[in-house]
């Protein structure tokens, strides 16, 4: 049975940020994942985790001004300093927060640059990050982002992710396997899961196409989560969906599917 972790940038967002930890614990969760709410707020987040008996499972590395369209620095050969600073900042925060896994966004296509030049930058930057994260006892994650929600993102297929992992060739960089993004791009969810099981560091779920909770779209999550068990994945499955209804109402599927929240 997969163990679940709730993403506090998608659920409980009608509460102030630090109050979401209490709501997650009250809903029965023992693990959470977060995006960038830790920046400038590390001590307060650490205290919220401890106060509510929660473990931080995964966090995002700073990727620039996300609402303005930034999606990371790794694909830009001219942003090495910004990229390395973002990694060092996240490593320092994780030493306080305990987050073992870090999602590193890759960045967007730069029209004036050849794609090969951008790929070389990706390899250089992620190779450096993998070495630093390995030394710090952390795991780097890379995922595809579908072009409907994130137009211009440079990693828009699972093949792109595999090509990068092959080039970096480090045990400290693995796939953040998001079933929602995969469904919006290529489908073949369970065969792809089985093929890449030994390269997956983290799993996230949302139904498609609306990115709401399981049972609201076209993905058969009963089959998908059974397959996650079958391949031997032992990590947390992150709930990164937009709740239809209140966050608490959106969690009813968990018991309906015979899962636990702890």
**51 in a structural domain:** yes
Structural domain range at position 157: 3-72+85-105+124-256
* Phi-psi label, residue 137: left if phi above 0, alpha if psi -120 to 50, beta otherwise: left
- Cα torsion angle, 9, 13, 19, 20, sign: negative
Q: Which pLDDT does position 261 carry in this prediction?
A: 85
**117 in a structural domain:** no
Q: Which pLDDT does position 44 carry in this prediction?
A: 98
**119 in a structural domain:** no
Confidence band, pLDDT 50/70/90 cuts, at residue 22? very high
Set 88, 124, 143, 234: catalytic member:
143
In 3D space, the residue among 103, 32, 115 whose CA is nearest the CA of residue 72 turns out to be: 103
What is the per-residue burial (b if ≥16 Cβ within 10 Å, else e) of 161-184? beebbeebebebbbbbbbbbbbbb
For 61-74, what is the mean pLDDT? 95
Set 88, 240, 248, 249: catalytic member:
240
Whether residue 186 has pLDDT greater than 80: yes
**110 in a structural domain:** no
**114 in a structural domain:** no
Give percent above pLDDT 90 in the chain.
97
240 is catalytic: yes
d(CA 242, CA 239): 9
Residues 108-127 pLDDT 10s = 999 999 999 999 999 999 99
Q: What is the CA radius of gyration of the chain?
A: 17
Q: Please count the other Cβ atoms lying within 10 Å of the Cβ belonging to residue 69.
A: 11
**242 in a structural domain:** yes
Whether residue 76 has pLDDT greater than 80: yes
Whether residue 262 has pLDDT greater than 90: no
**193 in a structural domain:** yes
For 60-78, what is the mean pLDDT? 95
For 34-46, what is the mean pLDDT? 96
Whether residue 140 has pLDDT greater than 80: yes
Q: What is the pTM of this model?
A: 0.96
Residue 213: CATH number of its domain:
3.20.20.150
**118 in a structural domain:** no
Q: Which pLDDT does position 197 carry in this prediction?
A: 98
Number of structural domains the chain divides into = 1
């Amino acid at each position: 049975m997969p163990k679940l972790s709730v993403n506090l940038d998608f659920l409980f967002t009608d509460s102030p940020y630090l109050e979401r930890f209490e709501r997650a614990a009250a809903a029965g969760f023992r693990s959470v994942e977060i995006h960038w709410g830790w920046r400038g707020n590390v001590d307060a987040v650490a205290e919220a985790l401890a106060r509510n008996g929660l473990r931080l499972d995964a966090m995002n590395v700073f990727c620039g001004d996300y609402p303005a369209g930034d999606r990371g620095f790794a694909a830009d050969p001219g942003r090495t300093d910004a990229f390395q600073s973002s990694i060092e900042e996240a490593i320092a925060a994780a030493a306080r927060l305990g987050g073992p896994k870090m999602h590193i966004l890759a960045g967007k296509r730069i029209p004036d640059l050849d794609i090969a030049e951008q790929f070389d930058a990706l390899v250089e930057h992620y190779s450096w990050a993998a070495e630093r994260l390995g030394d710090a006892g952390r795991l780097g994650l890379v995922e595809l982002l579908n072009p409907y929600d994130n137009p211009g993102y440079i990693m828009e297929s699972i093949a792109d992710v595999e090509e990068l992992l092959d080039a970096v060739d480090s045990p400290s960089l693995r796939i953040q396997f998001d079933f929602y993004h995969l469904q919006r791009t290529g489908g073949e969810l369970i065969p792809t899961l089985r093929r890449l099981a030994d390269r997956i560091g983290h799993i996230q779920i949302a139904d498609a196409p609306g990115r709401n909770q399981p049972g609201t779209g076209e993905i058969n999550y009963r089959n998908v989560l059974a397959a996650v068990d079958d391949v031997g994945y032992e990590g947390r499955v992150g709930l990164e969906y937009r709740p239809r209804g209140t966050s608490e109402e959106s969690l009813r599927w968990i018991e309906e599917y015979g899962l636990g929240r702890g």
